[in-house]
């Protein structure tokens, strides 16, 4: 950690104040901080009333009488989909483009607020005809096509909760998420286009719903299937329904009912420190308030003129808050792109920016680093002059990548907002405000107006400026998670136990404040890895590895990696019996692929090392720190607490 602090400290010389031109038209000014400092809850109440349309106005703001279970705007009622759709149409903005959709093969669709509203109403009618209502859960497993957005909004419109599962996850991952949430319906597609090929999705759904032991029954009653690629699919007549057979015929009249502010909006699973993913629960009024507020102010959204593009998949929280709820609540015009940045050639994203005149572009450092590697000639062949603001999310952006992003993509002038937040926080917590904050490449910078963040030591005492510690939220915030689905105890243990006496939320990130008070993120302090901005748990990958017949024991670490931030590195001990029968030939590669099948390709280890022992303390705890040293090719650190101090030299030899 100290190494990164030194490196970061040397970056403090580079600073970029907002240009007078940008500041002159910026949506957010310093007065937001002043208002929030005067009366934090009053500030959020004002924002919520201004940004959203409440069917029944709230009179209470925050109810923190039973911490850590927060309620925001509890006695108010609203319909989230109405806020994202109907009200814009009612305001005469029906012809405004909601999405410029671009499929990977090059097919395009222009979707206005009026047509999106109509389509959502039809789907809502289909779903409610099947008995989907408030209190139900619907799993969504889709490519990045307009129907994915429609599905999410139709579920929200009915007051049910969606659980979007990233299309890159395996059938096992999908199954455990369907089961944990008790989903009644799955919405999917035959497949989607990625890297120039039609990738199947429906077979994973079939498999997730099949192969159950006797007596074990899936909660799922129906599967609604969009035809995207036209590939062959297996069909279960009692369960499966084509989207095109029911949606176009359904009525486009549907009145949005209002639901309480704390009605569940969605569950989104994310990796934690133990094997099974946590179902992070978000509710309606507070979530939408903060998603809309941050989207408008941090991205400086001028909805009449801006074209905004967030490249995140809808399977992640960034896709939820900044490709669906925040932008649509604000009436933004967005780009929605189905495929990968390299198809059919590396400049595809820049083509899209040029074609649609994208002015606000929000992406991840891992993407920026891969573009850097390809070279500036590729973006420089395109006209990117429409861009006026860039955003980054998911992991720390290294200062070199920040500078490249600004110079090459942002013509050396666009502000970059580096936004820190989490699945759990629901919306951005730390970021610059582009018309106000003096930017420092590599720092996420300052808590947003109305957000209380600190860096503390392990007793919860603030470390002050120019020091490092743990990142916490010291006050509840509107879009905070309301719990872990079905597991209140785990919710309390994971986030609130660490600083129980102070009532702080423990984010799991290390951070440092510089002498100006700006915040620099230093990565996770727990067993969670961040690979290309995706969260992966060491425990989850370890349990996938030991589920293989060859494996006796496994230990996984995140090793630093130039391209992906961190990379998964696994150390595996094989079963004697397996070794005798089959030998170890080709097994490392097999295990890599196995993890990909079990969890999804993003979890595939970069390296699998077959070893004969693992470094353990006398109490049997694996010392990952030492394995990380090996994985990163460093001198192995202090081994004194190991039960057997020779283990590391054996491992080092085996890894070579
Ligand atoms: O470690 C932090 C890192 O990503 C984690 C949250 O991951 P997830 O819930 O998947 O959400 C990612 C998108 C919001 C955090 O605990 N992280 C996220 N954004 C940043 C970041 N680290 C540094 N800088 C960021 N801007």
Judge whether 532 is annotated as a binding position. yes
Q: Which two tokens stand for residue 86?
A: 């109907």
Q: Which two tokens stand for residue 215?
A: 């007596």
| Lowest pLDDT segment from 5-9, 139-143, 275-279 | 5-9
Q: Are 539 and 277 in contact (CB under 8 A)?
A: no
pLDDT band at residue 637, thresholds of 50, 70 and 90? confident
Ligand 1 atom with the smallest distance to the CA of 419 is: 26
pLDDT digits (tens, 9 = 90+) for 514-537: 999 999 999 999 889 999 989 999
Domain parsing of the chain, residue ranges: 111-257, 453-524, 528-655
| Whether the CB of 479 sits within 6 Å of ligand 1 | no
Assess whether pLDDT exceeds 80 at residue 278.
yes
Judge whether 394 is annotated as a binding position. yes
395, 441, 495, 528: residue to mutate for ligand 1 pocket, most atoms within 8 A of CB: 395
pLDDT digits (tens, 9 = 90+) for 249-270: 999 999 999 999 999 999 999 9
| Whether the CB of 289 sits within 6 Å of ligand 1 | no
Judge whether 598 is annotated as a binding position. no
| Whether the CB of 318 sits within 6 Å of ligand 1 | yes
Encode burial over 437-464: b for 16+ CB neighbours within 10 A, e otherwise.
Answer: bebbbbbbbbbbbbbbbbbbeeebeebe
pLDDT digits (tens, 9 = 90+) for 84-106: 999 999 999 999 999 999 999 99
| Residue keyed to tokens 């704390």 | 262
Question: Which CATH architecture is the domain 111-257 placed in?
Answer: 3-Layer(aba) Sandwich (3.40)
| Whether the CB of 317 sits within 6 Å of ligand 1 | yes
Cα-trace Rg, the chain: 24
The closest of 145, 141, 138 to 116, measured between CA atoms, is: 145
If DSSP codes are grouped into helix, strand and coil, which group holds residue 136?
coil
| Whether the CB of 444 sits within 6 Å of ligand 1 | yes
If DSSP codes are grouped into helix, strand and coil, which group holds residue 571?
strand
Q: Are 167 and 159 in contact (CB under 8 A)?
A: no
| Whether the CB of 393 sits within 6 Å of ligand 1 | yes
Residue nearest to atom 11 of ligand 1 (CA): 422
CATH topology of domain 453-524: Luciferase; domain 3 (2.30.38)
| Whether the CB of 512 sits within 6 Å of ligand 1 | no
pLDDT digits (tens, 9 = 90+) for 533-591: 899 999 899 999 999 999 999 999 999 999 999 999 999 999 999 999 999 999 999 99
Is beta strand 197-200 parallel, antiparallel or unpaired with respect to 191-194? antiparallel
Element (H, E) at 539: helix 538-546
Q: Are 117 and 102 in contact (CB under 8 A)?
A: no
CA gap 239, 235 in Å, rounded: 8
Q: Are 246 and 225 in contact (CB under 8 A)?
A: no
Q: Which two tokens stand for residue 146?
A: 């307009």
| Whether the CB of 99 sits within 6 Å of ligand 1 | no
Residue nearest to atom 13 of ligand 1 (CA): 394
Element (H, E) at 352: helix 348-356
1, 273, 521, 525: residue to mutate for ligand 1 pocket, most atoms within 8 A of CB: 521
Ligand 1 atom with the smallest distance to the CA of 316 is: 10
CA gap 481, 193 in Å, rounded: 33
CA gap 448, 116 in Å, rounded: 31
Distance of CA 408 to the CA centre of its chain: 26
Residue 501 backbone class (left: φ over 0; alpha: ψ -120 to 50; beta: rest): alpha
Beta-carbon contacts of residue 541 (< 8 Å; ≥ 6 apart): 554, 556, 568, 570, 595, 599, 603, 605
ipTM above 0.85, yes or no: yes
| Whether the CB of 423 sits within 6 Å of ligand 1 | yes
Residue 426 backbone class (left: φ over 0; alpha: ψ -120 to 50; beta: rest): left
CA gap 526, 272 in Å, rounded: 9
Domain at 528-655, CATH homologous superfamily? ANL, C-terminal domain (3.30.300.30)
pLDDT digits (tens, 9 = 90+) for 148-176: 999 999 999 999 999 999 999 999 999 99
Distance of CA 112 to the CA centre of its chain: 26
Phi, psi (deg, nearest 5) at residue 541 = -75, -35
């Amino acid at each position: 950690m100290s190494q990164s602090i030194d490196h970061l400290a040397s970056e403090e010389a580079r600073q970029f104040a907002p240009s007078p031109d940008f500041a002159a038209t910026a949506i957010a000014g310093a007065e937001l901080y002043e208002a929030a400092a005067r009366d934090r809850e009053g500030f959020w109440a004002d924002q919520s009333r201004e940004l959203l349309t409440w069917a029944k106005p709230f009179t209470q703001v925050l109810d923190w009488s039973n911490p850590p279970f927060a309620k925001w705007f509890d006695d108010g009622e609203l319909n989230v989909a109405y806020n994202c759709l109907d009200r814009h149409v009612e305001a005469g903005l029906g012809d405004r483009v909601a999405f410029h959709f671009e499929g990977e093969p090059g097919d395009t669709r222009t979707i206005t607020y009026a047509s999106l509203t109509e389509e959502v109403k039809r789907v809502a009618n289909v779903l409610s005809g099947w008995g989907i209502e408030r209190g139900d859960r619907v799993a969504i497993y889709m490519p990045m096509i307009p129907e994915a957005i429609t599905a999410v909004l139709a579920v929200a419109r009915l007051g049910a909760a969606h659980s979007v599962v990233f299309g890159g996850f395996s059938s096992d991952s999908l199954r455990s998420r369907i089961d944990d949430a008790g989903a009644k319906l799955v919405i999917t597609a035959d497949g989607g286009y990625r890297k120039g090929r039609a990738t199947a999705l429906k077979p994973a759904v079939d498999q997730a719903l099949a192969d159950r032991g006797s007596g074990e029954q899936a909660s799922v009653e129906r599967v609604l299937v969009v035809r995207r690629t036209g590939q062959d699919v297996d069909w279960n007549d009692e369960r499966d329904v084509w989207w095109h057979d029911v949606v176009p015929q359904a009525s486009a009249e549907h009145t949005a009912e209002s639901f309480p502010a704390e009605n569940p909006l969605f569950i989104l699973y994310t990796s934690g420190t133990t094997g099974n993913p946590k179902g992070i629960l978000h509710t309606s009024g507070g979530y939408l308030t903060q998603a809309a507020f941050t989207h408008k102010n941090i991205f400086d959204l001028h909805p009449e003129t801006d074209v905004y593009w967030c490249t995140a998949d809808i399977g992640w929280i960034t896709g939820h808050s900044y490709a669906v709820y925040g932008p649509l609540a604000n009436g933004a015009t967005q780009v929605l792109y189905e495929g990968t940045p390299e198809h059919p050639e590396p400049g595809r994203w820049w083509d899209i920016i040029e074609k649609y005149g994208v002015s606000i572009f929000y992406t991840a450092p891992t993407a920026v680093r891969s573009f850097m590697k390809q070279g500036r000639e590729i973006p420089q062949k395109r006209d990117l002059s429409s861009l006026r603001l860039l955003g980054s999310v998911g992991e720390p952006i290294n200062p070199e990548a920040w500078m490249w992003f600004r110079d090459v993509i942002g013509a050396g002038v666009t502000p970059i907002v580096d936004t820190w937040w989490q699945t759990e926080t629901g919306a951005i917590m730390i970021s610059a405000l582009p018309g106000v904050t003096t930017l420092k490449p590599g720092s996420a910078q300052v808590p947003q107006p109305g957000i209380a963040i600190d860096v503390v030591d392990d007793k919860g005492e603030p470390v002050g400026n120019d020091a490092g510690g743990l990142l916490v939220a010291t006050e509840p915030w509107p879009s905070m998670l309301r719990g872990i689905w079905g597991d209140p105890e785990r919710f309390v243990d994971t986030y609130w136990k660490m600083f129980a006496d102070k009532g702080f939320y423990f984010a799991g990130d290390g951070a440092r404040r510089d002498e100006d008070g700006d915040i620099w993120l230093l990565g996770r302090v727990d067993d969670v890895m961040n690979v290309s901005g995706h969260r992966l748990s060491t425990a989850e990958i370890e349990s996938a590895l030991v589920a293989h017949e060859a494996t006796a024991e496994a230990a996984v670490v995140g090793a630093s990696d130039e391209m992906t931030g961190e990379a998964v590195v696994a150390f595996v001990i094989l079963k004697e019996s397996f070794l005798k029968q089959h030998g170890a030939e080709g097994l490392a590669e097999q295990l890599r692929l196995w993890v990909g099948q079990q969890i999804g390709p993003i979890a595939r280890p970069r390296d699998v090392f077959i070893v004969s022992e693992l470094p353990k303390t006398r109490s049997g705890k694996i010392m990952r720190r030492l394995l990380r040293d090996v994985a990163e090719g460093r001198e192995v650190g202090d081994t004194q607490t190991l039960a057997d101090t020779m283990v590391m030299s054996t491992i080092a030899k085996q890894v070579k």
